[in-house]
């Protein structure tokens, strides 16, 4: 490797340009594209410009502007792509949620289920605003991400509390078979989305301290090096508890996410490939174990293998996967055009878990590939931030968060596209759901903070009076 | 820590790559399969998104479309005078699907046909909504009304009428019938109604004119007479035949009986047809043998399905039989069975001087802008008998109407030829007989109509009067209606 001589991935320590103007230009696109999409939907559905055009356009523009100003002021050297990409996804999500609000079929469905229909898009815009507010708060309050190290064990407790909240009687709600929501003052919150970030902080903090012990003070057992119990024990316990709680809440997607994040961070911290092997082994044991005593899991696997079978549809009570696959198929390469598909056939989850299917049908292969690449870019910028970070805690936190983001995107879109069994998570930023949007804005905030610290030019070395004196004397 | 980080980056890249690959598989490779999957409701939504084209009779639409009002299927079919026209149109139901013309010409009616590709592409550019084309039929509204009203008054049965010179179908009625408007939508109420119709023992959904084969009884004697003339068994219709009475069927001890005490001994062909002698025509069949009989019957269209373009069941003239069975088959008994359309074809071939034209009922397919996409040209199907023999047979059939069992079909000032029939069926002939009548009308300018009527008789006495009494008046009304509309 010639990486010792050329800097291909990490950003040089000195004099990285701030790229704030690049970010501003990209943000303009990130606001204009959803605005055009919004106009497109309105024209397709009613043949006229949608009435809320000014409201939504200004709303999104304002959010982007606030985000940009705060970054310019408080994180001047941050990665210039993260904010525009997240804004673009958030904007496109708003457009499609608004488009699905217009569907008579979904309105009827909501009226039949709860007696009334209320549009989701205004709420989503509000949650996006709260999300941006949290993003701003993160940048204002978190001057240096290393501060978070102090809260390693508090994070652990917080994560477990957050995960346990939905199991508290009277607070938690069982919605469509998963007990992952809590109801506070009329709002339903998914604590798991926030637990994702908090537990990443705990993992990063703990592993940073113990990484040498984990990697080196190990005993050889059956050909692989196992760390000492006192090093690995606590983290295994916390992790296992989270997984168990999630299994009881039948939140399979999030348990998969926690597992993946744990293995990734452990691997990065210890630099031992055996962890990957070990992780995969454990995950397959875990998966088979859970599948044998959880009928819920069994159903999902059946629905994944035979999405069109009548027996499976009857036993699961829904044909969402089949409908989703047909939505993708009907979209084809170029799609039907925004507002002109029938993805509302998927039913109540069309604007949350299955929102990607609407993109598939109405924007086609081209649109979905673009969306996936945007997600890919966010993850790539996250990994780049981890590479650039100068402290192990920052590296671990950045890779944990971006790894979790990547796994979440893979698990949701893979499930919706029938690549893997459906586990029920939301597409970050796109899907309808307050907790998801807010938590992911916080996640982006932390990544931006880490990247700002990483890219900030090192203070110029103090002038050394000896330097001028030194001369090379040729014989 | 950078080495594992790079590997994680590659791993994340692979995750995205897997998603991209899966998406390409779904939306490119599998797209068409999924888009046309039988559970994909979009196909139906698309199909009912605009009004269907119409089925047209005498320049007027007998179908229509209205907004469904609920659900995602925007338009549903309506029918004008549905029970009368249902044997022609079939039905187009959002819940059950389509049949007959509605199904066969579905591409034109929905506007999806490839032949509409050009107009459709043009519409796409100009932004016009997709529209369906029309199917123009050959039917005669007055004849259809006469046929349906006549049947309705007499219970169950069917009528088929043809223009002998072209093969154009003028009437196609069946009773009891159903109104396809009743279950054109998708509600479960409509589904239940269809189930009820489907299970009804009177079979209202059955298109008796095309899909039900009845023993034709004595009307088949017209075919036997044609065979006798064509194969040279008898030349002169007014010379006595060699017909003993009583006549014992060859190789058996069984006498073939006539209905009542009618003068059939050595009767002339004309006389035998007039009073409908079983002995005379049974003997002709057995004298000719099964091959000659089969040849003539098949030339008239027996043993093959007709596509008009709706498929009719094949009428049956048995291919394997001994002498006595041939005798029975030749008077329309044994396994002989015919659709009303088939017997109308027999009458029309005789009326058209021996030339049988291919029957059809869709004369034109139109694009939404009324451009003609396809026009049906009358086609000759076969020549079951020579012009000379056809005229001899016409002479005989006119005697049946003027002086014989078919008097009820007489029309003043018009030459009418016909033949009655009463077909017994069931074990030991235990069930009520079918009353048949086939006929044609003839004016100076040729024959405008040939018709076959069958009434599933519930209370008739078992003689030929039943055919003349029950079926002939309906035939007369249908012929009269066609003649009137020509004026």
Chain-chain contact of B40 with A326 (C-beta, under 8 angstroms): yes
Output the CA torsion sign for B401, B402, B405, B410: positive
Per-residue confidence (pLDDT) for residue A431, from 0 to 100: 92
Alpha carbon distance A460, B312 (integer Å):
96
DSSP secondary structure string, A377-420?
HHHHHHHHHHHH-SSHHHHHHHHHHHHHHHHHHHHHHHHHTTSS
HSE, side-chain direction, 13 A CA sphere, residue A285: 6
Tens digit of pLDDT for each residue in A82-96? Answer: 999 999 999 999 999
The yes-or-no verdict on residue A7 having pLDDT over 70 is no
Instruction: Read off the pLDDT band of B317 (50, 70, 90).
Output: confident
Residues of A in contact with B16 (CB under 8 A): 372-373, 375-376, 379, 406, 409-410
Structure tokens at B237: 């219709």
3-state secondary structure of B364: strand
With beta carbons less than 8 A apart as the criterion, state whether B365 and B135 touch.
yes
| Closest by Cβ to B5, choosing from A319, A328, A395 | A395
Instruction: Read off the pLDDT band of B276 (50, 70, 90).
Output: confident
Instruction: Read off the pLDDT band of A244 (50, 70, 90).
Output: confident
Nearest CA distance, A80 vs chain B (angstrom):
19
Per-residue confidence (pLDDT) for residue A471, from 0 to 100: 62
* Sole residue written with tokens 């898009």: A121
Chain-chain contact of B16 with A271 (C-beta, under 8 angstroms): no
Average pLDDT over residues B428-446: 81
Average pLDDT over residues B463-487: 79
Instruction: Read off the pLDDT band of B5 (50, 70, 90).
Output: very high
Instruction: Read off the pLDDT band of A6 (50, 70, 90).
Output: very low
The yes-or-no verdict on residue B75 having pLDDT over 60 is yes
The yes-or-no verdict on residue A36 having pLDDT over 80 is yes
Per-residue confidence (pLDDT) for residue A320, from 0 to 100: 86
Per-residue confidence (pLDDT) for residue B430, from 0 to 100: 62
Strand segments, DSSP code E, in B128-270 are 134-137, 156-162, 169-175, 247-248, 255-256
Nearest CA distance, B64 vs chain A (angstrom):
26
Which region among A457-471, B109-123, B388-402 has the lowest average model confidence (pLDDT)? A457-471
Query: Which of B460, B487, B481 shows the shortest CA–CA distance to B155?
Result: B460
Residues 6 or more apart in contact with residue B211 via CB below 8 angstroms = B312, B313, B339
Instruction: Read off the pLDDT band of A3 (50, 70, 90).
Output: very low
Per-residue confidence (pLDDT) for residue A200, from 0 to 100: 94
A439 or A473: which leads in pLDDT: A439
Residues of B in contact with A418 (CB under 8 A): 22, 26
Rounded to the nearest integer, the mean pLDDT of chain B is 86
Tens digit of pLDDT for each residue in A412-439? Answer: 999 999 998 888 788 999 999 889 999 9
Task: Give the best-scoring range by mean pLDDT among A81-95, A283-297, B153-167, B425-439.
Answer: A81-95
Average pLDDT over residues B285-312: 88
Alpha carbon distance A411, A423 (integer Å):
7
Which region among A19-33, B330-344, B426-440, B465-479 has the lowest average model confidence (pLDDT)? B426-440
Residues 89 to 128 of A: which have CB under 8 A from any B CB?
Answer: 105
Per-residue confidence (pLDDT) for residue A393, from 0 to 100: 94
Q: Is A468 buried (19+), middle (13-18) or exposed (0-12) by CB count in 10 A?
A: exposed
DSSP secondary structure string, A34-61?
HHHHHHHHHHHHHSS--TTHHHHHHHHH
The yes-or-no verdict on residue A242 having pLDDT over 50 is yes
The yes-or-no verdict on residue A56 having pLDDT over 80 is yes
Distance of CA B477 to CAs B37, B144, B362, B440, Å?
50, 10, 24, 12
Instruction: Read off the pLDDT band of A398 (50, 70, 90).
Output: very high
The yes-or-no verdict on residue A216 having pLDDT over 80 is no
Per-residue confidence (pLDDT) for residue A468, from 0 to 100: 60
Average pLDDT over residues A5-32: 74
Residues of A in contact with B27 (CB under 8 A): 328-329, 331-333, 360, 364-365, 368
Instruction: Read off the pLDDT band of B451 (50, 70, 90).
Output: very high
Residues 6 or more apart in contact with residue B205 via CB below 8 angstroms = B178, B197, B198
Chain-chain contact of A331 with B6 (C-beta, under 8 angstroms): no
Rounded to the nearest integer, the mean pLDDT of chain A is 85
* Chain B CB within 8 Å of residue A312 CB: no
Q: Is A309 buried (19+), middle (13-18) or exposed (0-12) by CB count in 10 A?
A: middle
* Sole residue written with tokens 């009881």: A248
Q: Are strands B134-137 and B55-57 parallel, antiparallel or unpaired?
A: parallel
Query: Which of A263, A245, A210 shows the shortest CA–CA distance to A403?
Result: A263
The yes-or-no verdict on residue B118 having pLDDT over 90 is no
Tens digit of pLDDT for each residue in B148-187? Answer: 988 887 778 899 999 999 999 999 999 889 999 988 888 8
To test the contact with chain B by mutation, choose from A207, A314, A320, A326 the residue with the greatest count of B C-beta atoms within 10 A, namely A326
With beta carbons less than 8 A apart as the criterion, state whether B433 and B402 touch.
no
Per-residue confidence (pLDDT) for residue A197, from 0 to 100: 94
The yes-or-no verdict on residue A465 having pLDDT over 70 is no
The yes-or-no verdict on residue A141 having pLDDT over 90 is yes
Per-residue confidence (pLDDT) for residue A8, from 0 to 100: 46
Q: Are strands B372-375 and B380-382 parallel, antiparallel or unpaired?
A: unpaired
Q: Are strands B97-98 and B415-425 parallel, antiparallel or unpaired?
A: unpaired
Alpha carbon distance A125, A154 (integer Å):
32
Average pLDDT over residues B351-369: 90
Output the CA torsion sign for A351, A353, A359, A364: negative
Tens digit of pLDDT for each residue in A342-384? Answer: 888 888 888 888 999 999 999 999 999 999 999 999 999 999 9
Which region among B6-20, B309-323, B347-361 has the lowest average model confidence (pLDDT)? B309-323
What percentage of chain A has pLDDT greater than the value 70? 90
Per-residue confidence (pLDDT) for residue A292, from 0 to 100: 78
Per-residue confidence (pLDDT) for residue A108, from 0 to 100: 83
Residues 6 or more apart in contact with residue B278 via CB below 8 angstroms = B218, B256, B257, B258, B259, B264, B331
By CA distance, what is A375's nearest residue in B? B16
Instruction: Read off the pLDDT band of A16 (50, 70, 90).
Output: low
Alpha carbon distance A439, A353 (integer Å):
16
The yes-or-no verdict on residue A20 having pLDDT over 80 is yes
The rounded radius of gyration (Å) of the Cα atoms in chain A is 24
Nearest CA distance, B186 vs chain A (angstrom):
16
Q: What is the DSSP letter of B218?
A: G
Query: Which of A182, A208, A176, A209 shows the shortest CA–CA distance to A195?
Result: A182
Chain-chain contact of A268 with B39 (C-beta, under 8 angstroms): no
Residues of A in contact with B32 (CB under 8 A): 329, 332
Per-residue confidence (pLDDT) for residue A223, from 0 to 100: 67
The yes-or-no verdict on residue B295 having pLDDT over 80 is yes
Alpha carbon distance A385, A398 (integer Å):
7
Average pLDDT over residues B410-436: 78
Distance of CA A92 to CAs A88, B157, B245, Å?
6, 64, 95
Tens digit of pLDDT for each residue in B188-197? Answer: 888 898 998 9
Per-residue confidence (pLDDT) for residue B464, from 0 to 100: 46
The rounded radius of gyration (Å) of the Cα atoms in chain B is 28
Alpha carbon distance B137, B57 (integer Å):
6
């Amino acid at each position: 490797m010639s990486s010792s001589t050329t800097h291909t991935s990490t950003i040089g320590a000195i004099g990285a340009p701030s790229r704030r103007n690049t970010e501003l230009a990209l943000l303009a696109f990130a606001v204009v594209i959803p605005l055009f999409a919004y106009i497109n939907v309105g024209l397709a559905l009613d043949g006229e410009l949608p009435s809320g055009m000014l409201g939504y356009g200004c709303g999104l523009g304002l959010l982007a502007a606030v985000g940009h100003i705060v970054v310019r002021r408080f994180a001047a050297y941050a990665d210039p792509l993260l904010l525009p990409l997240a804004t673009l996804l958030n904007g496109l999500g708003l457009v499609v949620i608004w488009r699905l609000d217009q569907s008579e079929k979904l309105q009827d469905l909501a009226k039949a289920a709860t007696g009334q229909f209320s549009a989701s898009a205004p709420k989503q815009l509000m949650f996006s605003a709260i999300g941006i507010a949290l993003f701003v708060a993160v940048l204002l309050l978190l001057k240096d991400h290393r501060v978070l190290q102090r809260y390693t064990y508090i994070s652990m407790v917080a994560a477990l509390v957050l995960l346990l909240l939905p199991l508290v009687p009277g607070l938690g709600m069982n919605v469509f078979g998963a007990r992952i929501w809590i109801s506070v003052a009329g709002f339903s919150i998914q604590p798991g989305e926030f637990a994702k970030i908090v537990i990443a902080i705990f993992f990063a903090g703990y592993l940073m301290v113990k990484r040498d012990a984990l990697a080196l003070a190990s005993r050889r057992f059956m050909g692989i090096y196992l760390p000492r119990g006192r090093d690995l024990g606590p983290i295994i316990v916390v992790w296992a508890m989270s997984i168990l709680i999630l299994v009881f809440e039948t939140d399979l997607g999030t348990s998969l996410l926690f597992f993946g994040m744990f293995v990734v961070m452990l691997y990065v911290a210890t630099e031992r490939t055996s962890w990957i092997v070990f992780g995969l082994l454990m995950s397959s044991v875990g998966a088979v174990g859970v599948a044998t005593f959880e009928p819920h899991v069994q159903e999902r696997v059946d629905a994944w293998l035979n999405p069109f079978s009548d027996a499976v549809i009857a036993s699961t009570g829904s044909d969402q996967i089949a409908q989703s696959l047909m939505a993708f198929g009907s979209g084809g390469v170029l799609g039907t055009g925004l507002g002109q598909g029938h993805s509302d056939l998927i039913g109540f989850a069309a604007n949350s878990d299955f929102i990607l299917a609407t993109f598939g049908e109405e924007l086609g292969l081209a649109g979905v590939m673009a969306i996936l690449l945007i997600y890919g870019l966010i993850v790539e910028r996250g990994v780049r931030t981890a590479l650039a970070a100068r402290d192990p805690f920052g590296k671990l936190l950045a890779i944990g968060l971006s790894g979790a983001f990547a796994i979440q995107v893979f698990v949701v879109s893979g499930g919706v596209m029938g690549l893997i069994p459906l586990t029920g998570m939301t597409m970050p930023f796109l899907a309808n759901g307050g907790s998801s949007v807010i938590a992911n804005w916080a996640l982006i905030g932390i990544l931006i903070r880490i990247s700002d610290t990483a890219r900030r030019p090192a203070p110029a070395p103090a002038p050394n009076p000896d330097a001028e004196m030194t001369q090379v004397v040729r014989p | 820590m950078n080495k594992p980080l790079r590997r994680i980056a590659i791993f994340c890249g692979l995750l995205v790559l897997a998603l991209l690959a899966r998406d390409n598989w779904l939306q490119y490779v599998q797209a068409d399969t999924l888009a046309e999957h039988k559970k994909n409701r979009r196909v139906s939504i698309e199909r009912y998104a605009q009004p269907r084209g119409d089925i047209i009779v005498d320049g007027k639409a007998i179908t229509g479309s209205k907004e469904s009002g609920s659900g995602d299927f925007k338009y549903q079919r309506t029918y004008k005078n549905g029970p009368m026209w249902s044997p022609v149109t079939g039905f187009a139901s959002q819940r059950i699907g389509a049949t007959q013309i509605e199904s066969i010409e579905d591409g034109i009616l929905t506007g999806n046909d490839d032949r509409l590709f050009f107009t459709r592409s043009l519409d796409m550019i100009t932004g016009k909504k997709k529209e369906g084309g029309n199917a123009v039929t050959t039917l005669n509204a007055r004849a259809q009304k006469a046929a349906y009203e006549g049947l309705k008054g007499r219970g169950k049965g069917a009528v088929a009428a043809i223009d002998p010179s072209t093969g154009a179908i003028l009437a196609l009625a069946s009773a009891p019938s159903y109104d396809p408007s009743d279950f054109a939508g998708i509600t479960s109420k409509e589904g239940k109604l269809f189930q009820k119709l489907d299970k009804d023992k009177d079979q209202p959904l059955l298109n008796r004119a095309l899909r039900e084969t009845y023993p034709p009884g004595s009307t088949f004697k017209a075919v036997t007479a044609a065979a006798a003339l064509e194969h040279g068994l008898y030349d002169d219709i007014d010379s006595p035949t060699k017909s003993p009475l009583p006549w014992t069927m060859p190789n058996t001890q069984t006498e073939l009986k006539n209905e009542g005490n009618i003068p059939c001994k050595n009767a002339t062909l004309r006389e035998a047809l007039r009073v409908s002698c079983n002995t005379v025509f049974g003997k002709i069949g057995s004298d000719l043998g099964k091959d000659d009989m089969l040849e003539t019957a098949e030339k008239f269209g027996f043993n093959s399905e007709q596509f008009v373009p709706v498929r009719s069941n094949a009428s049956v003239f048995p291919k394997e039989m001994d002498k006595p069975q041939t005798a029975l088959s030749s008077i329309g008994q044994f396994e002989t069975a015919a659709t009303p359309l088939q017997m109308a074809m027999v009458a029309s071939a005789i009326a058209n001087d021996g030339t049988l034209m291919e029957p059809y009922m869709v004369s034109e397919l139109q694009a939404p802008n009324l451009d003609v996409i396809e026009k049906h040209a009358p086609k000759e199907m076969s020549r079951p008998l020579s012009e000379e023999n056809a005229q001899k047979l016409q002479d005989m059939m006119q005697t049946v109407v003027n002086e014989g069992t078919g008097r009820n079909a007489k029309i003043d000032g018009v030459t009418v030829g016909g033949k009655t029939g009463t077909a017994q069926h069931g074990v030991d002939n235990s069930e009520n007989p079918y009353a048949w009548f086939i006929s044609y009308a003839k004016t100076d300018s040729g024959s405008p109509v040939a018709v076959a009527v069958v009434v599933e008789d519930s209370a008739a006495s078992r003689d030929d009067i039943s055919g003349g009494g029950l079926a002939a008046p309906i035939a007369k009304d249908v012929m009269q209606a066609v003649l009137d509309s020509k004026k």
